[in-house]
Amino acid sequence: MCLTIPGKIKSINNGFAIVENGKRQDKVNIELISDPQIGDWVLHATNLAIHKINETEAREIIDLLEEKYPKVDTEKLPERFKEIIIKLKVKKEELTKDEIIYLLSLNESDVTETLYAEANTLRKDVLEDFVCIHGIIEFSNYCRNNCLYCGIRKDSKIKRYRMSKDEILEAIKTAVEDEGYKLIVLQSGEDYGYSDNDLLEIIREIKKQFRVFIFISVGERSGDFYRKARDAGASGSLFRFETSNEKIYQRLHPEHSFKERLACLQSQIDSKYYIASGGLIGLPGQTEKNLAEDLLLVKRLGIPMLSAGPYLKADETPLAKESEDMTEKLRLALNYIAVARLMMPNIKIPVTTALETLDNENGRHRGLLAGANALMFNITPAKYRDDYGIYDHKYIEREKVWQKYGLFKGEESWEMIEDKLKIE
Ligand code: SF4
């Protein structure tokens, strides 16, 4: 389920067509297209046309990925910024911690927009327009923990739900068979209402019934559980370290151990999961230096997918009274995505729902144009969706237009995922 690109057929020759959309021209195989004609619009992956679409839809999609950076007078950019970009692009040297901190701190719009444009150019050079869509199912909002910032913490007086195995399978059936999802994230609070065996059974059953890659996001469980879940068919694990700073971690998770969290992450790396990890951006008391250290930890651990999003406060949590500057959070989150891309050109960076919450529909667009290359859509059944309130004002998705071209069925999209992500 990788985003395809629309193109209009310009010429046809021997099972191939030249397609173009005003920005790029590609030669694509058109064997899957019935009765292709010059002038038809098709959705295509790198070298394969998937299906026909009408012109209105094609224009809608082109608009989504349109790059809108303001014109910047490069003469006026700070010398230090220009030196860092040259160092990265021409000398191909790695960023130092001080340089990462400097880039994260940028706040003048001319400079930040140039930073995002540089990161986006690198994304396109390295990964082209390959963007993955993950479907996330939040199957339980029970949690045994009391993280100070989290809306579903144990002490929150919220309506709780726990989906049965059959409900989970039904939701995945709809996502996979009707909508074309191929990457599913099974997420819950740390809910021991499901034993290890219950979760293993759910994973096995999903793998038996559907052709789908499973990421699990179920919190701290034993190394033994993670090994067995890998054998049962889970390929990926979404497990944030939350912050690389032990003091901040202990303050926000008084009942937990930072060292145990990192040990749990390491056990998943050792079990050969495709790991999505990272931290929260903009926690109270967190500095750009702390965020730079988070990014350096992701790089040091060789994490293939960054899972990091802006911290947003939630009602009924001990941090609910802290003031919150949404514009500042958005700036920091976009800077973070762009710096992550510049530090780790091949890393997969999803736009989190929290970023969408900060900037509504535009959040997805801005995240992608700052260097992100994956999207997370919520596939939790509607009757439970509002109860998974990790933070307030959660963005209610308007993903139909993305789904139109991001999800398609067929062997080709499997091959693309296997090839690009090396997921088993
Ligand atoms: S952040 Fe995760 S572990 Fe902490 S309370 Fe929320 S759901 Fe539970």
User: How many angstroms is it from 225 CA to the middle of ligand 1?
Assistant: 19
Final residue of a structural domain among 64, 83, 109: 64
Indicate if 44 and 173 belong to the same structural domain.
no
The whole-model pTM stands at: 0.85
Assess whether 15 and 137 both reside in one domain: no
pLDDT number for residue 395 = 43
Statement to judge: residues 39 and 185 lie in one domain: no
- Domain for residue 242, yes or no? yes
* Domain assignment present for 351: yes
Supply the residue whose CA is at minimum distance from atom 2 of ligand 1.
Answer: 189
Atom of ligand 1 nearest to the CA of 153: 5
Ligand 1, residue 154: give the atom nearest the CA. 5
- CA 99 / ligand 1 centre spacing (Å): 32
Same domain, 155 and 51: no
Q: How many domains does the chain have?
A: 2
Supply the pLDDT for residue 407: 58
**DSSP classification of residue 324:** -
Mean pLDDT, each 10-residue run in order, the chain (424 residues) = 75 93 84 90 80 82 70 84 92 94 95 94 80 88 93 91 97 88 93 97 96 94 97 96 96 92 97 96 94 98 94 83 84 96 94 75 82 87 77 49 55 54 56
pLDDT for res 56: 84
Q: Are residues 243 and 358 in the same domain?
A: yes
Give the integer Cα–Cα distance in Å for 417 and 413.
6
Is residue 120, in this structure, part of any structural domain at all?
Answer: no
Q: How far apart are CA 183 and CA 209, in angstroms?
A: 14
216 C-beta closer than 6 A to ligand 1: no
Tokens of 166: 């059959």
Cβ of 150 below 6 Å from ligand 1: yes
Question: According to the model, what pLDDT value does residue 397 have?
Answer: 46
Pocket perturbation via mutation, ligand 1, pick of 143, 155, 242 by most ligand atoms within 8 A of CB: 143
Helix (H, G, I), strand (E, B) or coil at 13: strand
Residues 178 and 259 in one domain: yes
Residue 79 to residue 76: CA distance in whole angstroms: 9
For residues 23 and 133, membership in a common domain is answered with: no
Q: Is residue 92 part of a domain?
A: no
- Same structural domain for residues 136 and 53? no
b/e map 127-139, b = 16+ CB within 10 Å: bebbbbbbbbbbb
CATH code for the domain in which residue 312 is found: 3.20.20.70
Which CATH number is 37's domain given? 2.30.30.140
**Which tokens is 359 given?**
């900037």
Please tell me if the CB atom of residue 389 comes closer than 6 angstroms to any atom of ligand 1.
no
Q: Are residues 241 and 376 in the same domain?
A: yes
The domain boundary, picked from 22, 38, 64, lies at: 64
pLDDT of 62: 75
DSSP character string of 169-180: HHHHHIIIIIT-
Instruction: Tell me how far the alpha carbon of residue 394 lies from the centroid of ligand 1, in angstroms.
Output: 16
Same domain, 60 and 131: no
- My answer on whether 35 and 143 are in the same domain is no
Structural domain range at position 231: 127-393
Pocket test for ligand 1, best of 190, 250, 261, 312 (most atoms within 8 A of CB): 190
Strand locations in 223-313 (E): 234-238, 274-277, 280-281, 305-306, 309-310
Residue 334 within any structural domain of the chain? yes
Is residue 337 a contact partner of residue 372, using CB atoms and an 8 Å limit? Answer: yes
- In-domain check, residue 112: no
In-domain check, residue 74: no
Q: Which of 299, 379, 385 is nearest to 341 (CA)?
A: 299
- Same domain for 20 and 136, yes or no, is no
221 lines ligand 1 (CB under 6 A): no
Q: Say if 424 falls within a structural domain.
A: no
Please calculate the CA angle 382-197-263 and round it to the nearest 5 degrees. Answer: 90
| Beta-strand pair 132-140/183-188 | parallel
- Sort 236 into a burial class: Cβ within 10 Å, 0-12 / 13-18 / 19+: buried
